Structure 1
C-alpha cells in the first residue's frame, strides 16, 4: 500500500484527517532492536532469512496473497501461459487484496517471450478526463482545499480519478500471449467472489485503516459518496477480521460481464454506462467517452548494463528509469568492499540525484519528451557520481543546466514451462484508491473502487507533469526484468510508491554485488529515503529529506549515517513488497521468492 507523506510546508487537502496505521512507529533516538530477538535459528543460509527460495521446473508464481498464487499455479497446470496465470492472479488480488489493487486501477507489465527471444513492455495506464481543462481543475481543487493548504489536487475523491487501464491491459496482454479463454482465466476469482475467501492478516489491517480514512474524508467533504464503498467493503457495518470469510457478489457479476463481453463490456457496455451515471450524480469530471477512448500501449523497455547484467524498466510516464539512473551512478563504487555505512550512504545519495530528475522530467511522453538518452547515459551517471560527498548527506540537489538544456500496489510474477516470464504490477495508487466505489442509481455497486492516480498531476502549467485533458499522470508503479548474456535472469518488483526504484536497486545490489540469493535479497533489511522533490511540483528538497531504516540495520551503521547528517528514523515501514522469479540456466529450474513483509507466497510445480 502506498502512503504519500506531505512535503515540507505542504499540508494535504486531507490534513485534518491524515491517518497512519499504528504499526509504523518512529524511533529516531533509540538503537534498533536485534533482528533476531524472538526469532528461531536457520540451519542453512543467512540467519536472518525468512525461508528458502521455492525451486521448481515446470512453472512458478509469486504474489502477495497465497490463494492468488495457487490460482496462478492452477492456470499453469491447466495449460495456460504465464500471461494467463498473471491475469488470473491479478483478478484474484483485486478481490482478495483490494487495499492495493483492483480493476479501478492501472497496470504495467514486462513479458519475456521465449519464442521471439524478446522483451515486451505494456503501459496500461489511464488518462485524465478529456472534458476538463487545467483551469477548471485548478478552480475545483482550490474550492476543496482547507485554510492554509496548498492548491494541489485533492488526494482522494473524484478529482483524483483517472480512467482505469487494468482491464484493457488484461485483454491487450491476452490478445498477444494468452492461451486459455478469458472465462476460464477469471473463473477462480469469480468463484471466490461468490463463495468467499478468508481475509489474511496484513490485508485485514490495511482494509480497516483505509475504510476509517474514507469515512473521515467523506465527513470532510472530500470523498463525495461513501455508501457504495460501505456496501462492498464493510457489508456487516465493519471491515472483515483476519480469517473471516468475505464475499463480493457485485464484483463477481462485474467479472462475469468482462469474461463474456471482453474489454468493451467495461469500457463501452453496461458497466461504462453505470460509471458514467455515477460520475454525473457526484458531479465528477469523467464520462463514458473517456472510457471509450482508453487504449493500452506497447512500449519498448529501456535498460542500462550494471556489471554485466542488463536491467530493464519501462519508460515514463512511470518512474522506472530512476532505478536505472541510480545503478549508473553506483556502478562506479566498489559496493562489495565498502563498509555498510558507506554503501548505504552512496545508495541514498544516488537516490536523491535520480529523484531530482524524476521530479523534473518524468511525465506522459505523448505530451513531454524526457531526455532519456542523456539521463541514462554512462557519462551522465559518472558526472552525477562526482556530485556525491561521501562524508556528508546532501541537503539539496541543485539543477544540472546541461540536462535542462536538452520530470499502494500489488506486484506479481509468473513463469511457465515454456520459458515465458511475466513481471506485472497493478495498483489503485494510495491504498484502496480514491474512496469512490461506482454503482447504479438504485445503489447497486459494481464491486470495485476507483484509483486516485490523478492526484499525481502537477497544477503548474509549466511543469512536465502538468495536468492536461487526456494526459496520463506520473506513475509510481514499475515492473522490472533483468537479462544476463541475452537470456532471462530475474523478473521482479518491489511495490510501494516512491520506495519502488529504491527497492529495485537494493535488491540488485544485494544479488549482484553482495551475492545474496533471490529470497535473501528480499529479506535483507532495507532503507527508504523520503522527502525528495516531487513530480507534483511541490517545494524542492532543501533539508536533505528523511531516512528510514529497518531494525536489521546495525547500531554502528546508524550512528555513522547520523554523523554524516542523515535525519534517520528506525521504523517498521514503508519498505515495499517484493516478489521475484530467477531463472537458473545451470540446472534448468526457476527460483521464486516472496515478501515476508506481506501475506504472500511463492509456489511452483
Structure 2
C-alpha cells in the first residue's frame, strides 16, 4: 500500500537533542547533504573533504539558497591553527557605475539580471581547500551530488517553500532573455508550481557540470569550457563577464579576525564580509552588566549594541583594499567604550540601510583527528540573479547587489572590486584550543544570530541545541525590531515601553538557520542544528 500523509503540516512542537559523537560529525540545513559529508568521513576523508562534499551536494539538494554560481567563505581549524578562505568574487571589468546607470538603476544596485552578478567564487574555493588540506581524490567529493542530480532526491519541507517563493519572485522577469533559461531548469513542472515536500527532483544539467568540475579540478569554470560558455551567454544576453574576469580569479587565503569575549576568542572572516559586525556588538556588550537571559533589559542591551555595530559596519565595510578605516580601529576596546556610552534605557535610531533575509546555506564539520570547518555558501537573494547558463545548471549569484552606488562610501561599485558580503562563518576557541565552528545563515540576520548564539553559550552556558532553539530577536531598521512568537509577553511589553517598535512574527524562517559543533577536552563532539531549517546532525 502507499501510505499518504500531509507533508506540509506541522501542528505540534517537537524537541531536538544535542547529538554526541567521537569519530566525526557534519551539521547542515539539509539532511541528505549532511549524510553526504558523513559518508566521505566514513570513507577515510577528513573534515575538510567532508565540508567540500557537503557544500557541493547542497548546490543540488538546496538549490534555492546556493548553487554552482555561488560565493563562499570558510574557517578551517587544522594543525592547531585557524585558516580563512575568502571565496567571494569581484565585479567584472565592464561592470561600472556608468553601465549600471545605463541599465536604469541609479540609486540602488539591482537584485536580478547581469548587473547583480559577480564572478562566482565557490568552485575555486572548493579546489583551493582541497589542494591545501584535502585527503581523498577530489572527484570522489562530487559523487553524492552527482548521484542526487542524476537519480533524483526528495525535496525537503523548507526547500519546497523557498522554491515556490523563488518562482514567484522571478516570474516578473520571465521575459528577460538572460533570466528565461532559469525557468527551463527550476520550474520543473513548467506551470509556476514548485515541487512539493517529498517530491523527487532531478537536475541533469547540474550533473553534467559537476562532472566537468570534478574532472578539471574546477579549472574549466575559470579557464576552460565552462568559462567559454558563460562568456558566450553573457555576450548574447547583455552581460558583463569576460574570459579575463574568470581566468584571473582565485579564492584567497586570509587571516581571520577575533575579539576576546569573557575568556573565549570569537573568530570571524575579515571584510569584505560583515563578520566584524558581530565582533563589534560583542565588544560593546562585554563591558555591560548583563543579567538573566530572558528579560527585557537583556534584549534591549543586545539590540542597542547590534544597532550601533550595524551602523558602523554598513558604513565602513567593503573590499579591504578600498576601506578607509582599519579593522583594528573598529574592534578596539577604546572604540567599543565610545559606542557603549551611547546606550541608555530607551531605543536609539541610528541610520543605515534596511536589512532583509537572504538565501544562504551554512555547514560545519569535524573529524576524529581534531580538524574542524565552518563553511558558508550563498547565492544571496532567493535563487540569486535569476540567470542560469542554459544546459549547464549554473545559477549565477546576485552578490553585486551588495555594492553601493553612493561614490562617498567605501563600498562604491568598481570593476574587480568585491562587494559588501553578508555570509559569515564563525569559530570559537578557548586558550588557544578549538571549541568549534558555528554559524547562523540569513543575510543581515547572520551577525545578529552570531551574537545571540555566542551569548547563549558563553554567558548562560546553554548547550548547543538550546542555544540555537532559544527565541530570537532581529533588528530591522531604526527602532523597528522583530521578535519570534516564542518570546515571553512580558519581554515584548518591556521593549515597547523602552520605545522599540515591536513586531511579533509566527514565521521563524526570517530569524536565521544555524548549526554548531563544540568539542570538549576529551575529543567528544556535541552537535546541533535548529528547527528553523530542515537540517540534521550526521555523526558516527
Q: Is TM-score (shorter-chain normalized) higher than 0.5?
A: yes
Q: CA deviation at 1:363?
A: 0.2
Query: Where do residues 513-524 of structure 1 align in structure 2 (5 Å cutoff)?
Result: 513-524=459-470
Contact 1:157 1:224 in 2 (8 A): no
Alignment of 1:23-38 (within 5 A): 38=12
71 and 569 in structure 1: CA distance in 2 versus 1, 3 angstrom threshold: same
- Judging changes above 3 Å, is the alpha-carbon distance between structure 1 residues 597 and 132 closer, same or farther for their aligned structure 2 residues? closer
For residue 449 of structure 1, report the CA deviation from its aligned partner: 0.9
Q: Which residue of structure 2 lines up, in the alignment, with residue 246 of structure 1?
A: 201
Q: Is the 8 A contact 1:352 1:397 kept in 2?
A: no
Over 3 Å counting, the alpha-carbon distance change for 1:514 and 1:289 in structure 2 is same
Equivalent residue, structure 2, for 1:234:
187
CA separation in 2, counterparts of 1:141 and 1:202?
34
Match in the other structure for 2:512: 576
Per the alignment, in what secondary structure is the counterpart of residue 104 of structure 2?
helix
Secondary structure at 2:374's aligned position in 1?
A: strand
Deviations along 1:154-194, whole A, 9 cap, x unmatched? Answer: 11111000000000000111111000111111011101111
**Aligned partners of 1:431, 1:528: CA distance in 2, in Å?**
20
Cα displacement string for residues 349-395 of structure 1 (whole angstroms, at most 9, x for unaligned residues)? 00111011112110001222432111101111122111101x21012
Instruction: Give the number of aligned pairs.
Output: 522
Partner Cα separation in structure 2 for residue 590 and residue 563 of structure 1: 42
After superposition, give the CA deviation of every residue in 1:454-510 in whole Å (9 maximum; x if it has no partner).
011111222100000000000000000010111111210000011000000000111
Q: Does 1:485 align with 2:431?
A: yes
Counterparts of residues 354-365 of structure 1 (less than 5 Å): 354-365=309-320
Partner of 2:5: none
Aligned partner of 1:193 in structure 2 is: 149
**2:138 is aligned with 1:182:** yes
**Structure 1 CA distance, aligned partners of 2:325 and 2:63?**
33
**Alignment counterpart, residue 598 of structure 1, candidates 515, 533, 538:** 533
Shift of 1:339: 6.1
Contact 2:173 2:179 in 1 (8 A): no
**Cα contact 2:374–2:439 (8 A) shared by 1:** yes
Tell me the equivalent position of 1:554.
Answer: 488
The equivalent position to 1:395 in structure 2, one of 309, 334, 349, is: 349
TM-score (norm 2): 0.94
Partner of 1:368: 323
Q: Would you say 1:134 and 2:80 are equivalent positions? A: no
- What pairs up with 1:105-504 in 2 under 5 angstroms? 105-113=70-78, 115=79, 117-142=80-105, 151-219=107-175, 223-237=176-190, 238-337=193-292, 340-389=295-344, 391-396=345-350, 408-439=359-390, 445-504=391-450
* TM-score (normalised: structure 1): 0.84
Residues 308, 350 of structure 2: 8 Å contact kept: no
- Give CA deviations for 1:285-311 in whole Å, capped at 9, x if unaligned: 112221111111111001000000000
Contact 1:336 1:514 in 2 (8 A): no
CA offsets, 1:234-265, max 9 Å, x none? 23214211111100111111000010111211
Unaligned runs of 5+ in 1: 1-22, 24-35, 41-49, 143-149, 399-407, 440-444, 532-543
Query: Higher mean Cα deviation, 57-66 or 327-336?
Result: 327-336
For the pair 1:526 / 2:472, whether they are aligned, the reply is: yes
Query: Per-residue deviation at 1:451?
Result: 0.5
Q: Is the 8 A contact 2:212 2:218 kept in 1?
A: no
Per-residue CA deviations over 1:74-107 (Å, capped at 9, x if unaligned) read 1001111111111111111100101111121101
**Cα drift, residue 231 of structure 1:** 1.8
- Superposed CA RMSD in Å reads 1.7
Structure 2: runs of 5 or more not aligned: 1-7, 353-358
CA contact (8 A) 1:318 1:362 kept: yes
SS of alignment partner, residue 62 of structure 1: strand
User: Hey, which bits of structure 1, 4+ residues long, moved more than 6 A?
Assistant: none
1:397 deviates by: 5.8
Pairing partner for 2:63 from 95, 98, 117: 98
